[in-house]
Chains A and B, each alone.
Chain A
């Protein structure tokens, strides 16, 4: 198992335990100087929405410690936006670095590090237990991930090697997003690093246009905006629903694009194109039934389409 590619793995954790460095060591030990530098680089890349794919060929453990230090700092800062960006960074990094990985290695990774027991079938297909599949696939947008459209047999969902990596990446995201038990102040060098990261984070947040007041929007749509502004990576279907909704209630295209700026994978060109397409074709947002089925609905507001919520409110 290549631990520098998979610093979140059980193997990596075991090696860390073996080497026996504690929190003080992570902060002060001269052997970990490079790891601290790499951690900072990783966090900068996360905030900027770039991808740091560098690997320490000489001492792979540096990448493991860099990951650990990054996580500690993310936890220390405790900012949702940062946590989501960092998770997205680790997801993208894994997807890139696991390309071409020997499938049995990935299966082992799933089993050992995430307790996901899967089977390899003919033709490099993978059988994933349905309950694990549902847990992992919910963060992924698009109809092809919905259970009703899948090849499912006797409780196992059959996925391709590529899809399997996508699911594993979601397991990584969930792990990174899960709060760790680090509490209180860190040793000084790590606190200093956290301050540097905080500064960059604030600067980044300032560069993202302030969202409009979201009081009168349908609750599900305000919730989507809130999640985006927390830097969460929301599925494609949710992005579509929100863009169509905002355009229909009269938002300017540029303002709609601005809303999406906090997305961890935001690309100006693509977002602008998509929003323009939705505006040009005049797409309506999906109705509440559909929104409920894709997990966007947040409660009963008594309308059949988020658009009628606005209208009802306006009439009052």
Chain B
């Protein structure tokens, strides 16, 4: 299949809008392009914005990235000789990691062997022929993008309350597809190494909460006090909300009633007193609640991304090769009213004819509504909608 019409549209975009492309501290970044044949070019250095703009125009990559790290020698071939100076602390929020109901409406799978299709989630093996060659087809819609946006705001709350990072040190970018990249540019955060970044990632995501350190037994049982910070503070607030009768929805009534019956729990929370003679069941229930809290209330970030200072992020206003949408840099205020499918379109030009190869749900793009389309039909579409369908592997240009 030739993606030539899409590549032409990408080229036209970079020709018309290259003035929108920018990268801070460009000479210290490593660049990575993936072209329309899937060839990856890494370890590139680019000296100026002008050079970057003309390179994008000339090479028209399908995906274009730059490193969140600043290097002494960005073009060195191995990581250890690059000489990392600092790196923005990167958080990746992806609708994939969120439990969104819309996936059942718009993501589907197809058996590569017999052609059977079904809605998300994909089975391990095809129920018809037993083949394990199952291919998933993902989509995006305002519902999952809104969930990703909410998660981004939750992340910023955590960053502020726990790590003391103000919004002025935070950059938000819509990736152009399923989520957001949040980057922290505060000096201390930028100089954290890999091990420290992992600790931050675990903190934000509530990974590996050790319940025994929250509910400590030995000469009575101590629990975190109201007023503490981090997950300890969240736990004491959670218990307080249970005592006050307005717990979050994930706490079941039985657990809530039981916790309210633990003698002295309010005193423990408010005054830091130890709990005495509460029995092993109470300890068990409290500890279970700690773990559940981490699962329910941790921010759903990709911890591997945050832990790695050598990661890439998309060049602002470059195009995403799985949607044709722009990567858009936003302030927190702009994020609030940002609607990716309406506002991140960028491809212009003549319409093209598309053969639909996988069912396409109804969708809105750049203010117009398209679809639904059944597999097999041929239709002429504006370039942005055509690119969207084609790059999501649900159609081919003809």
Give min CB distance, A294 to chain B, whole Å.
9
B202 close to chain A: CB less than 8 A: yes
Chain B residue with the shortest CB-CB distance to A152: B230
Which residues between 102 and 141 of chain A lie within 8 Å of chain B, taking CB atoms?
Answer: 129-131, 134-135, 138
State the interface size on chain A (CB cutoff 8 A).
Answer: 24
Contact flags A141-156 to B (C-beta < 8 A → 1, else 0): 0011011111111111
Identify which of residues 59-84 in chain A touch chain B, using a CB-to-CB cut-off of 8 Å: none
Give the chain A neighbours of B191 by CB distance below 8 A: 131
Q: Contact between A148 and B209 (Cβ–Cβ < 8 Å)?
A: yes
Please state if B209 and A151 are interface contacts (CB–CB under 8 Å): no
Shortest C-beta distance, A121 to chain B (Å), equals 11
B162, B192, B294: most-surrounded residue (chain A CB, <10 A): B162
Number of A-B contacts (CB under 8 A): 91
| B-chain residues with CB within 8 Å of residue A295 when the two chains form the complex | 195, 198
> What 0/1 pattern do residues 191 to 205 of B give for CB contact below 8 A with A?
110011011101100
Kindly provide the distance from the CB of B310 to the nearest chain A CB, expressed in whole angstroms. 14
Q: How big is the B interface, by class?
A: 20 to 34
Asked whether B165 lies within 8 Å of A148 as measured between CB atoms, the reply is no
Cβ-defined contact, A138 with B209, below 8 A: no
Residues on B with beta carbons closer than 8 Å to the beta carbon of A130: 163-164, 188
Question: Which of A134, A147, A153 contacts B233 (CB under 8 A)?
Answer: A153
Chain B, residues 139-171, CB within 8 Å of chain A (1/0): the string is 000000000000000000000111111000000
Q: Is B54 an interface residue (CB 8 A)?
A: no
Complex contact B232–A150 (CB within 8 A) = yes
For A156, the chain B residues whose CB sits under 8 A away are 164
With an 8 A cutoff between CB atoms, is A293 at the interface?
A: yes
A293 and B202 contact, CB distance less than 8 A: yes
Give the CA-CA distance A192 to B37 in the complex, in Å: 68
Is A158 among interface residues, defined by CB-CB distance under 8 A? yes
Q: Which residues of B sit under 8 angstroms from A147, Cβ to Cβ?
A: 199-200, 202-203, 230
Report A288 CB to chain B, min CB distance, Å: 13
Which residues of chain A are within 8 angstroms of B163 by Cβ–Cβ distance?
130, 152, 154-155
Query: Shortest CB–CB separation between residue B227 and chain A, in angstroms?
Result: 9
A155 touches B210 (CB 8 A): no
Mark out the residues of chain B between 342 and 379 whose CB falls within 8 Å of any chain A CB in the assembled complex.
none
Question: Across the interface, do A154 and B202 meet the contact criterion of CB distance under 8 Å?
Answer: no
A134 to B192, CA, bound (A): 9
With A143-B210, A146-B210, A151-B230: A293-B198 Cβ-Cβ less than 8 Å: yes
Q: Given A151-B233, A154-B229, A131 and B192 touching (CB < 8 A)? A: yes
Query: Are B164 and A154 touching (Cβ within 8 A)?
Result: yes
Given contacts A134-B192, A293-B207, A295-B195, contact A148 B229 (CB under 8 A): no
Give the one of A135, A146, A148, A151 with max B CB within 10 A: A148
CB <8 Å contact, A131 and B212? no
| Given A151-B232, A153-B162: A131 and B207 interface contact (C-beta under 8 Å) | no
Inter-chain CA distance A156–B164, complex, in Å, is 8
Q: Are B230 and A144 in contact (CB under 8 A)?
A: no
With A134-B192, A143-B210, A149-B232 as contacts: A154 and B161 at CB distance below 8 Å: yes
Is there contact, CB below 8 Å, between A138 and B202? no
Q: Which residue of A lies closest to B186 (CB)?
A: A155
A136 to B: closest C-beta gap in Å = 11
What is the bound-complex CA distance between A151 and B165, given in angstroms?
Answer: 16
Rounded to whole angstroms, the CA-CA distance of A146 and B213 in the bound complex is 10
CB distance from B87 to the nearest CB of A (A): 14
Q: A154-B161, A155-B164, A155-B165 known; A148 and B208 CB under 8 Å?
A: yes
Asked whether, in the complex, the Cβ of A143 is within 8 Å of the Cβ of B212, the reply is yes
Identify which of residues 146-179 in chain A touch chain B, using a CB-to-CB cut-off of 8 Å: 146-156, 158
Residue B179, interface by CB 8 Å: no
**Cβ of B206 < 8 Å from any Cβ of A?**
yes
Interface residues of A in 201-251 (CB under 8 A from B): none
CB neighbours (8 Å) of A134 from chain B are 192, 195-196, 199-200
> Are B202 and A152 interface neighbours, CB within 8 A?
no
When distances are taken between beta carbons in the complex, the residues of chain A under 8 Å from B228 are 151, 153, 158
B214 at the interface (CB under 8 A from A): yes
Does A149 lie within 8 Å of B213, measured CB to CB?
yes
Q: CB-defined interface of B92-120 with A at 8 Å, one 1/0 digit per residue? A: 00000000000000000000000000000
Pairwise interchain contact A146-B232, C-beta atoms closer than 8 A: no
B230 touches A150 (CB 8 A): yes
Give Cα distance in the complex from A51 to B24, angstroms: 53
Interface residues of B in 218-233 (CB under 8 A from A): 224, 228-233
Residue contact B231 to A153, C-beta cutoff 8 Å: no
Contacts of A149 in B (CB 8 A): 209-210, 213-214, 231-232
Given A143-B213, A152-B229, A153-B229, 12 more contacts at CB 8 Å?
A130-B188, A134-B200, A135-B196, A143-B210, A144-B210, A146-B202, A148-B206, A151-B224, A151-B233, A152-B230, A153-B164, A154-B161
**Closest 10 A/B residue pairs (Cβ):** A155-B164, A153-B229, A143-B210, A154-B164, A152-B230, A134-B196, A151-B228, A147-B199, A131-B188, A149-B213
7 A/B residue pairs, CB under 8 Å, sorted by A = A131-B196, A134-B192, A146-B199, A147-B200, A151-B229, A155-B165, A292-B198
